[in-house]
Amino acid sequence: MTINSCQSDNPVSSVVWKLDNHTEIGGYSPVVIGNPKIVNESTRTFLSFNGESDGIIVPLNPVYSWDQFTVEVLFYPSSDGRPEQRFVHFMDKKGNRGLIETRVTSDGKWYLDTYLHDGAKDEGYTLADREKLHPCDEWFWAALVYDGITMRHYINAVEELSGEFEFGPMETGMISLGVRLNQVYWFKGNISEVRFHPRPLNAQQLQNSY
């Protein structure tokens, strides 16, 4: 995949993306794949993805140049989604990448799968535990945290897994929401908000309620 990014630098403060329109996300005009629907509810606005052909690509890598970072996402996985879904995927021009994924079981539950990949070494590290199940058709905050040595992931500010992996900092690139960047492993469900922080947040600092 060719990475065409208009990004030249990256803010040193936290960034919050509200997914409430198709025309502007994070100050950039996204590429809209399919027809993710804008839904307004009493407590939130979000984009709803059909699990077959809906996605968003934003032409920048939000964690560009950060040697430490946290990515938080407020999402709602549908129980009738595919078994494997990639709903946050950021990648740079050197093939370094990070993903936040779900694995949906046949009885309507899911567990988190997070992944970092070093493009130069062609090595990756996965955090996933099929025993740490959560109910579908509900809102959750997921977080991927990297402190320069250790990768961790959280659900509603509760740490589930961790492991050491040498990674980054990343180059310029892009990010997709609702699907992997090469448009496979489509996500069925909703995404309301994504947050990017240039530091590793601890459990007390993470979002723990929707």
The residue segments making up the domain with residue 98 are: 15-197
Residue 24 resides in a domain: yes
Residue 135 resides in a domain: yes
Q: Give the Cα separation of 58 and 61 in Å (integer).
A: 8
The whole-number pLDDT of residue 39 equals: 97
Q: How many domains are contained in the chain?
A: 1
Q: What's the pLDDT tens digit per position in 76-133?
A: 999 999 999 999 999 999 999 999 999 999 999 999 999 999 999 999 999 999 999 9
Instruction: Report residue 57 CA to chain centroid gap.
Output: 12
Residue 4 resides in a domain: no
Which pLDDT band, with edges at 50, 70 and 90, does 10 fall under? low
Residue 49 resides in a domain: yes
The whole-number pLDDT of residue 43 equals: 87
Q: Give the Cα separation of 40 and 125 in Å (integer).
A: 37
Q: What's the pLDDT tens digit per position in 187-198?
A: 999 999 999 999
Contact 111, 84 (CB under 8 A): no
Instruction: Provide the CB-side half-sphere exposure for 88 (13 A, CA).
Output: 31
The whole-number pLDDT of residue 2 equals: 47
CATH number at residue 170: 2.60.120.200
Which pLDDT band, with edges at 50, 70 and 90, does 38 fall under? very high
% of the chain at pLDDT higher than 90: 90
Tokens of 108: 């309507």
Residue 165 resides in a domain: yes
| pTM listed for this prediction | 0.94
The whole-number pLDDT of residue 11 equals: 59
Residue 204 resides in a domain: no
Q: What angle do CA 49, 52, 54 make, to 5 degrees?
A: 40
The whole-number pLDDT of residue 9 equals: 53
Residue 78 resides in a domain: yes
Q: Give the Cα separation of 172 and 132 in Å (integer).
A: 34
The 3-class SS string of the chain reads CCCCCCCCCCCCCCEEEECCCCCCECCECCEEECCCEEEECCCCEEEEEECCCCEEEECCCCCECCCCEEEEEEEEECCCCCCEEEEEEEEECCCCEEEEEEEECCCCEEEEEEEEEECCCCEEEEEECCCCCEECCCCEEEEEEECCCEEEEEECCEEEEEEECCCCCECCEEEEECCCCCCCCCCEEEEEEEEEECCCCCCCCCCCCC
Q: Is residue 1 scored above 70 in pLDDT?
A: no
Taking the C-alpha atoms of 50, 56, 61 and 63 in order, what is their torsion angle to the nearest 10 degrees? -40
Q: Is residue 7 scored above 60 in pLDDT?
A: no
Which pLDDT band, with edges at 50, 70 and 90, does 12 fall under? confident
What mean pLDDT is predicted for residues 39-46?
92
Residue 2 resides in a domain: no
The whole-number pLDDT of residue 8 equals: 46
